Amino acid sequence: MSLSLLSLAALCWGAASPEPTVQCGSENELSPEWKVQHTLIPGDLRDLRVEPVKARVAPEEYSLRMNISWILRADASICFLKATKICVTSHSNSHTFSCVRCNYTEAFQQQTRPLGSKWAFSYTGFPVELNTVYFIGAHNIPPANMDEDGPSLSVNFTSPGCLDHIMKYKKKCIEAGSLWDPNITACKRDEKTVEVNFTTSSLGDRYMALIQSSGLLGLSTVRESKPTRTSVVVPVSGESEGAVVQLTPYFHTCRHDCIRRRGMVGRCLPASLHPSLDSNRRVLGSWLPLLLALLAAAWMLAVGIWLLKQHERTKKASFPANTLLPRAKVLLVYPSEICFQHTVRFFTEFLQHHCRSEVILGKWQKKKIAEMGPVQWLTTQKRAADKVIFLLSNGASPTCNGACGESEDSPWKDSQDLFPLAFTLFCSDLTNQTRLHKYVVVYFREADTEEDYSALNVCAKYHLMKDASALCRELRHIKPPGEAVTSLL
Ligand SMILES: *[C@@H]1O[C@H](CO)[C@@H](O)[C@H](O)[C@H]1NC(C)=O
Ligand SMILES: *[C@@H]1O[C@H](CO)[C@@H](O)[C@H](O)[C@H]1NC(C)=O
Ligand SMILES: *[C@@H]1O[C@H](CO)[C@@H](O)[C@H](O)[C@H]1NC(C)=O
Ligand SMILES: *[C@@H]1O[C@H](CO)[C@@H](O)[C@H](O)[C@H]1NC(C)=O
Ligand SMILES: *[C@@H]1O[C@H](CO)[C@@H](O)[C@H](O)[C@H]1NC(C)=O
């Protein structure tokens, strides 16, 4: 009986106090509460934050607004809290000032939320312009009396420009090409020419591709008004492998001031060995069933013969000489300032496709790293890898610039830079002659190894792309696993 009464009481209490939410509306004039005296007022806010958020308002149109969030202080004065007033002043060409008042829908019965966390609310509304300083102030209502210094909290917020991953959705940025993905690929065709491929945009009809390393190597302009994949050959006056290609668009709205994009010049793949494959495809189609039947028969014959031979050889069979060597496993570490999109991805693809290597990248194993911890992960991967490559930036390689940072996938923003940790962990191996051969340093430009990492000077060094084939040779001639393991552990 008493138990059911208790649970009934609990039910009523729960139903009587739903969690407060906020209802916000514009209130640019003084709040009416200022006009009366209050003996008891709520304390100030504990935290106030601002970040830009985007909302799609039409298929190709976004509105960018401030998400202002705040946390209430968990003290007894919370029971006097009725509303929070937020005012935003902008300091751009024109001064603007506007306020909202957010009423709490219920009186606060508890200092914290039912599960113990502090009360937190947010309001999304004030529009955000590019590169503007905003001053955001907030105070609780009822406010302090007119002649008293009332508690309030304020923050400054400087909105970023078009390269920001949210601001790029601003109409002005989209018109300047912020959402355009040129997907630049470039390769050295020979000593005198570089081939640059990219996707054009409907925003303009002229582009300039510029190849530069320490100085300008060459440039070409392209005219194209429709979005399509374009190829341009740029004559160059020097070594172009590893150089940077900068693509400057001239769009109608931004003209000479549009967002420029960058890529890197690699080495062109050798011309396909089967140039007539396409024309052969149709002929192949009609012959395919017969061909398949023949192949199957030949295969069965081959298997039969092989089985016979195996039988003859019995246990004398040794390791077959010309089976394909296993792929070399490479652990690639690089400092956070190296641009992932352009440099690391390019280098990884190079290792995979040209050197038949399997690449282990921290970036692709974030979850595993989080589970194991970076030290354990690095140690395990080092043991599994045939080579550990330190990719160095030397301050001169195409590090993350604005054009690169705009990608949402910017390097290690949310995770740890593994490079210094790997260096520290593997450092003792560098003084051990038998273990040293596992480590390789790869750099893009001639320069001294950074002082902090000078211990790496003892490692085999390769200059990309100049020593690319030597690096591949080294990776292809990894010792048989058994031997490697004994010398490494
Ligand atoms: C908030 O409360 C005040 C005073 O009760 C009222 O004048 C105002 O209209 C309310 N605002 C909203 C958005 O509900
Ligand atoms: C605004 O920020 C708060 C706190 O970070 C978050 O809970 C809320 O979902 C955000 N609102 C929008 C529209 O992004
Ligand atoms: C915000 O910026 C204004 C103007 O630049 C400055 O006077 C003020 O001290 C800043 N306030 C904070 C909280 O940083
Ligand atoms: C970029 O171009 C390459 C080669 O043409 C293609 O394989 C890749 O899918 C493209 N990526 C994007 C994001 O369009
Ligand atoms: C550029 O495109 C052409 C034609 O599609 C292709 O043959 C060539 O390999 C591409 N070059 C690069 C560097 O992507």
Mean pLDDT taken over the chain = 78
- How many angstroms is it from 103 CA to the middle of ligand 1? 6
Q: Give the number of whichever ligand sits closest to the CA of residue 183.
A: 4
Model pLDDT for residues 302-325, shown as the tens digit of each residue: 655 555 555 544 333 333 333 456
Residues contacting residue 352 through CB under 8 Å, at least 6 positions apart: 358, 359
Q: Which residue has the higher pLDDT, 289 or 460?
A: 460
Q: Which residue has the higher pLDDT, 463 or 381?
A: 381
Is pLDDT above 50 for 85? Answer: yes
β-pairing, 120-127 vs 460-463, is unpaired
Is pLDDT above 70 for 135? Answer: yes
**Mean pLDDT score, 363-378:** 83
187 CB within 6 A, ligand 5: yes
> Which has the minimum average pLDDT: 144-148, 159-163, 431-435?
144-148
> Which has the minimum average pLDDT: 66-80, 250-264, 339-353?
339-353
Pair 98, 126: CB distance under 8 Å? yes
Among 21, 46, 67, 128, which is best to mutate for testing ligand 2, by the most ligand atoms less than 8 A from CB?
67
Is pLDDT above 80 for 150? Answer: no
- Only one residue has tokens 């139903």, namely 15
Q: Which residue has the higher pLDDT, 391 or 264?
A: 264
Pair 188, 217: CB distance under 8 Å? no
Among 103, 104, 121, 141, which is best to mutate for testing ligand 1, by the most ligand atoms less than 8 A from CB?
103
Model pLDDT for residues 2-55, shown as the tens digit of each residue: 444 344 334 334 445 688 999 999 999 888 888 888 888 888 899 999 999 999
For the stretch 426-465, what's the b/e string if a residue is b when 16 or more beta carbons lie within 10 angstroms of its beta carbon? beebbeeeeeebbbbbbbbbeeebeeebebbeebbbbbbb
Is pLDDT above 90 for 66? Answer: yes
194 CB within 6 A, ligand 5: no
Q: What residue's CA is closest to ligand 3, atom 2?
A: 156
- Only one residue has tokens 């390689």, namely 397
Is residue 465 reached through a cis peptide bond, with omega within 30 degrees of 0 on the bond before it? yes
- In whole angstroms, give the CA distance from residue 367 to residue 372: 9
Residues contacting residue 56 through CB under 8 Å, at least 6 positions apart: 62
